[in-house]
Structure 1
Amino acid sequence: MSTTYAQTYNEEKFDSILYYLKLADNNKVAFKKREQMCLRAKTLAAEIHSYSLQQKSNLKLIGLYKAFDKNKLYVKFTHENLKLAEEFKDSITVAHMNKNLGYYYYDKVHDSAHYYNNKAEKLFRKLNDHFNTAAVLLDVASLQREGKDYTGSELTLIEGLKLLNKIEYPSKEVIRKKAYFYNSLGIVFNVLEQYDKSIEYQNKSIALKLKLKGDNKSSIELSKNNLGNALKEAGKYELAIETFKEILEDNTLAEQQPDFYVMVLDNYAHALYLSSKKSALPGLYHKALSVSKTLGKDNYKSIVVLKHLAEYYHDLGLKDSAKYYAYEAKRIAEKFHNDDLLKSLLLLSEIEEGEIAAKYLRDYVKLNDSLQKSERAIRNKFARIKYETNEIEEENVKIAKERMWLLIISIVIIVASFLLYIIFTQRNKNKELEFIQKQQETNEEIYNLMLSQNEVIEDARALEKKRISEELHDGVLGRLFGARLSLDSLNMNNSDIAIKTRGQYISELKVIEEDIRKVSHELNADFVSGSGFREIIKNLIETQTATYELSYKLDWESAIDWDEVSNKIKIHFYRIIQEALHNIYKHAKATEVRVSFKFESETIRLSIIDNGSGFDVNRAKSGIGLKNMKSRIKEINGTIAITSQKEEGTTVKIDVPTS
């Protein structure tokens, strides 16, 4: 879908879209019918190229799928709406769709939740939308808390509260969101064992929730439960008991929120246990356990109740009962493999005796290490969100000045560096040009040498042709002339002697024929073909190895037609061999060198092998000689491979294509 087309107004279709969307809002209509209405509206909106109506139709569908727990369709159309918004550069909708996806993946795939939350946060910040940025940060803080990054969660929550405090006229939703932030901070500080802070923030959360109009009973009771836990952990058992009792006074709690009722009842019973008020125990624990079983077999909520029962019976010295409930807690906790399993193992190590107790203690340590390692891995995935402290905000003016000076200094350094770069680059270019000029002069010298050698070869060819011509003229032609005269004289004579004589002359002609064929073959064979370059290389190797006191072996493959090879390649081969022999003498301490030329697949391979001391190819630095060799090989589109082992010598293989 293109973002450039214009909306095509069609009154009939426009009215139909509005009708379908209105019908989709009717809760009395069946889900399937409402879905069809949304899809029809969406199709018509696409036909008239109305982006706003397409968005509206998509949002209706997304809300419908969410309400009816159609998760796959919810995700599909959220992504579709996100793509559509991105095409039309609708930043607000893009931000909200990312926020929705982050919330959807919150309890499913933490990595995906963090990914979409991060994208949503950046977009909301750009839009200067403090409320929605804070809403995303609340989810991020919850993910951090679940990953046991409590410090990171605390910092994220504080940053979110700062954003909400910037909103001048806070609405009901802003106040509710603040209450959620205080509640989350209370939970984090409770885990960090800062109980006074935890109690303070839970009280703030409850106070804000009480200000809100409407039915906030469940939310208030949740914060009161968290407050009771903080009071219990702080050792303020009486206040904790009173707090839990307030919640349990709600007679509808067990029926409407049985899972929450189990948790509060267990917390109340545990507070009584810690305050040594045990008259209602273990009855309250068993009541909580009984309600827990109505939620389903091996319900997660029952683990803590079972653990508290095990502690209670262990305290009374009833080991069999203590073991029974401890093992039950462990059995159910193993299905979830989390901190409750860890606590169950520790409890069993305290209840059991001897080797069994030691075994559970070892299992506890092993699982604890495993969980910590896993938690560290999760924390490392999430980038910690940075925020500015009050002190930094107060020093913004000072920082701005420092940044200005830093910018000026940076510009000066950059300009100076650029000028130095130009100077050094120009100097290196001049050196490179000088090197290229010297290289060209050397190449010309070698080329002239090869031309001189070729002149010698051509002279040799001319002399040989002259010799063969004289041999044909003076020898073979003379013998042919004599044989012809003799045959003419015998042509009319048919005597036996004449016939015998003619036969002798015919034999002589056959011998002469063979001599002619031999001379022709010698003329056909270019006996000096390619020998010019070979002689030059042989002379180079003989001269240098004699100077360096090296023995040598030179191998040529006859398949190489050196007359067809360009002079440029020949020159570079000459210089490469020269440089290689010099390097062998200078560095290798060799006594023998082998040079060979082979031809395969339109490629000439030059191999230079020595029996010297060798070196570590990976660590050795390239000297000027090697750099020059590589430069020459690059010029003729060749490749070089160097292998070497200490005390075993070095092999250099150079492959150069002939075409």
Structure 2
Amino acid sequence: MKRLKVTFLFFCVFNIAHASNFSFGDEFLKFKLKIESDSLDYHIKNMKENSLPLSVSLKYANKAMELAKKKELTSKQKEILAYKTYLFGNLRNYDSAIYISKRYLKLLKKDNIKGIGNQYSRMGYYYRANSQIDSAYYCYNYSNEMFLIVEDSARIGENLTHMAIIQSNLGDYTGSDETGIKAINYLDKTNVLYLSSLYNCLAINSKNQKDFNEAIYWNDKALKIATNRIDSIGILNNKAIALRSLEKYDESIALFTELLKDSLIEKKPRKKARIIDNKAYAQWLNNKNLSVLSDYMLAKEIRQKDKDSMGLITSYAHLSDFYKIRNDKIAVDYALKMYNLASHKKSPRDQLEALQKLISLDNSSRIKKYYASYISISDSLVEAERQVENKFAKLKYDSEKNRGENLRLKIVNSKKELELEKEKARNIIGAASSGAILLGFIGFGYYRRQKHQQEKKEEVYKTETRIAKKIHDEVANNVVNIMNKVQYTSETKEVLLDDLEKVYLLTRDISHQNSTIETGESFEKSLKALLASFNTNTTTIIVKDINNVELKLLTKDKQIEIYRVLQELMVNMQKHSSARLVAISFKKDSNQHFINYSDNGIGFALKELKFKNGLKNMESRIKSINGIITFETSLNKGFKAFISFKK
């Protein structure tokens, strides 16, 4: 009876289903899909599905966000928002990527320092890609503060690299150098991607500051660690340009020629055009009677086809130079094209170069208009660069860590200013004194001269004593050891030669440290050679702006004292600091010269300063030229020296 009832029920259901065209399989699938469509995990999974178009992935992300909000699942919301920033970034919708990043940051806890640092770094990338450079720099700087707290050296170095590149792009080359040198201290040698970018940035800074030898130095460092051939081509192109600027035309042309043989160039029209144009320009500079027009035109055609506006500006510049000695009218036409395109692309430096060409070429009444434009753009550029430097300085100052550093520098500079004000006051009092006071002043001056001469004699004595002790302790003892080996052992010839070479190097160092100093016109070259001689495989010496301070105009006494003080600093660094990086910067204003020395060595406690004879000698030397030297150091935090003296 039961079987009959079941059969009847099945029969009734089957007939109803048949009558309404009903299908159990279809409805079950629809029901299953409806359950899945309401599942948060389902939407998150599809949001991350790489095979789907990005726009579809965003739809899944939006639905997932809606469900996560309903269920108040904060961790899921963070996961979705983080991925949405990635999707918008890939779509190059940077405004939306930035907006979503800010929403994501609101959900992060304040103690999640690393997470905040990561997100600000990502925002820096989106701002930079969106041409919002100020905001990009701010984000990288803020991210850096977070990673300083958690002591994540790799991320600190990466942020500093981005910041240095931004500063360089905006024309703050000195600031970029400072930031870049800091980055080197944090980046591990294995992080070749960032190190290569950083070295290239420092090379560009040096080139734009007309220090082409320094540019080549950084190009070579970048080249050693470049990770792919296309990066190497870019670096070699920059090196060839630096060689051209140094008038080493044969080397430059040879390098450009080798680059054009690379098959990879054919796939990169912009790079190909750049190298063809640069090679032609080097050949023309080497021989202005040489016809390189076909290469110039080929580079121009490639750039026009590729819509490379910045490349075209360079083509027009070179063509204007080429025609200057052949056809003034064509030269003016190309200079005008350069100016108009540079104005359209808002490139003030290229505008200035184009106006210079027009002023020298065009003899019409328009020359006044060109000159007025040149003055206006030049003034605007100087003001813009000043604002850029101030803006970066303020951003750094707003950081708590850098605020302390700026306060320290402010104190040091205040001390210098106070000393200088005292010196001014003494001069004024001396000038206004009566005859009796003047005689007293002369007597005091005589006493000081006598004292200075005595100090000089004592210094000569100390120097001679030091040399004698060094020869006795290091050279003589080594010679005795070699003699003993010759007499009483059967050491091989190679071992004895190695020992003799060590003695030779010792005597050469002693000679170098106490050699005569070239002064006058040759002083700057001599000082550069001294500082460069301390470059080793483990220590890099950075010298900034030495060409801008005209050291050749200093008196002979000042040149000698400055040389010896810097020599003493470098010798101390080599012996005691274990520094990987040394930076020496030169600066001058209307009345004074400034020299700042800084290394990242082991340093030593401040209380030990008074016991260092070398530092006392430096103080004595700087005082002898009416200057001031102050030191700053602490254990494991490097050593700094600040020198100032009147012209």
TM-score (norm 1): 0.53
Q: 2:124 aligns with which of 96, 102, 114?
A: 102
Alignment of 1:351-430 (within 5 A): 351-353=361-363, 355-383=365-393, 391=598, 393-394=600-601, 396-399=603-606
In the TM superposition, what is the alpha-carbon distance from 1:52 to its structure 2 partner? 4.0
Contact 1:329/1:344 (<8 A) preserved: yes
Letter in 2 for 1:102: G
1:248 corresponds to 2:270: no
Q: Deviations over 1:520-563 (max 9, x none)?
A: xxxxxxxxxxxxxxxxxxxxxxxxxxxxxxxxxxxxxxxxxxxx
- Bigger CA drift: 93-102 or 391-400? 391-400
Give the whole-Å Cα distance in 2 for the aligned partners of 1:257 and 1:78.
Answer: 34
1:24 maps to 47
1:343 corresponds to 2:353: yes
1:266 corresponds to 2:277: yes
Give the whole-Å Cα distance in 1 for the aligned partners of 2:154 and 2:602.
Answer: 26
Q: Secondary structure at the match of 1:334?
A: helix
Contact 2:94/2:127 (<8 A) preserved: no
Alignment of 1:635-650 (within 5 A): none
In the TM superposition, what is the alpha-carbon distance from 1:122 to its structure 2 partner? 0.6
Give the whole-Å Cα distance in 1 for the aligned partners of 2:607 and 2:270.
Answer: 54
Give the whole-Å Cα distance in 2 for the aligned partners of 1:280 and 1:34.
Answer: 57
Q: 1:76 aligns with which of 75, 99, 105?
A: 99
1:286 maps to 297
Give the whole-Å Cα distance in 1 for the aligned partners of 2:182 and 2:278.
Answer: 32
Letter in 2 for 1:226: N
Contact 1:198/1:227 (<8 A) preserved: yes
Give the whole-Å Cα distance in 2 for the aligned partners of 1:41 and 1:222.
Answer: 44
1:123 corresponds to 2:135: no
TM-score (norm 2): 0.54
Letter in 2 for 1:276: N
Alignment of 1:100-499 (within 5 A): 100-106=122-128, 108-164=131-187, 167=188, 170-171=189-190, 174-209=191-226, 212=227, 216-254=228-266, 256-276=267-287, 279=290, 281-296=292-307, 299-316=309-326, 318-337=327-346, 338-353=348-363, 355-383=365-393, 391=598, 393-394=600-601, 396-399=603-606
In the TM superposition, what is the alpha-carbon distance from 1:156 to its structure 2 partner? 0.6
Letter in 2 for 1:147: L
Distance of aligned partners of 1:198 and 1:126 in 2 relative to their CA distance in 1, 3 Å threshold: same
Aligned sequence identity (%) = 23
In the TM superposition, what is the alpha-carbon distance from 1:103 to its structure 2 partner? 2.2
Distance of aligned partners of 1:264 and 1:17 in 2 relative to their CA distance in 1, 3 Å threshold: farther
Distance of aligned partners of 1:175 and 1:327 in 2 relative to their CA distance in 1, 3 Å threshold: same
Structure 1: segments with no counterpart, 5+ residues: 1-11, 403-659
Give the whole-Å Cα distance in 1 for the aligned partners of 2:232 and 2:49.
Answer: 32
Contact 1:24/1:34 (<8 A) preserved: yes
Q: Deviations over 1:76-119 (max 9, x none)?
A: 1111112212x363221211111122222226223212221221
Q: Which has the larger radius of gyration?
A: 1
In the TM superposition, what is the alpha-carbon distance from 1:143 to its structure 2 partner? 2.2
Q: Deviations over 1:271-328 (max 9, x none)?
A: 11112176561111111111111134x8232111011101001033x11211111111
Distance of aligned partners of 1:399 and 1:272 in 2 relative to their CA distance in 1, 3 Å threshold: same
Give the whole-Å Cα distance in 2 for the aligned partners of 1:366 and 1:37.
Answer: 54
Structure 2: segments with no counterpart, 5+ residues: 1-34, 397-401, 410-580, 583-597, 610-647
In the TM superposition, what is the alpha-carbon distance from 1:44 to its structure 2 partner? 4.1
Q: CA RMSD of the aligned region, Å?
A: 2.9
Give the whole-Å Cα distance in 2 for the aligned partners of 1:112 and 1:38.
Answer: 27
Q: Secondary structure at the match of 1:383?
A: helix
Contact 1:195/1:231 (<8 A) preserved: yes
In the TM superposition, what is the alpha-carbon distance from 1:19 to its structure 2 partner? 4.2
Distance of aligned partners of 1:294 and 1:393 in 2 relative to their CA distance in 1, 3 Å threshold: closer
Q: Secondary structure at the match of 1:69?
A: coil
Give the whole-Å Cα distance in 1 for the aligned partners of 2:290 and 2:608.
Answer: 69
Give the whole-Å Cα distance in 2 for the aligned partners of 1:128 and 1:49.
Answer: 34
In the TM superposition, what is the alpha-carbon distance from 1:50 to its structure 2 partner? 4.5
In the TM superposition, what is the alpha-carbon distance from 1:46 to its structure 2 partner? 4.3
Q: Secondary structure at the match of 1:382?
A: helix
In the TM superposition, what is the alpha-carbon distance from 1:21 to its structure 2 partner? 3.5
In the TM superposition, what is the alpha-carbon distance from 1:379 to its structure 2 partner? 1.6
Give the whole-Å Cα distance in 1 for the aligned partners of 2:375 and 2:66.
Answer: 60
Contact 2:316/2:335 (<8 A) preserved: yes
Give the whole-Å Cα distance in 2 for the aligned partners of 1:112 and 1:301.
Answer: 28
Letter in 2 for 1:253: I
1:466 maps to none
2:57 maps to 34
Contact 1:231/1:237 (<8 A) preserved: yes
Contact 1:351/1:357 (<8 A) preserved: no
Give the whole-Å Cα distance in 2 for the aligned partners of 1:42 and 1:246.
Answer: 55
Give the whole-Å Cα distance in 2 for the aligned partners of 1:120 and 1:144.
Answer: 17
Contact 2:284/2:291 (<8 A) preserved: no
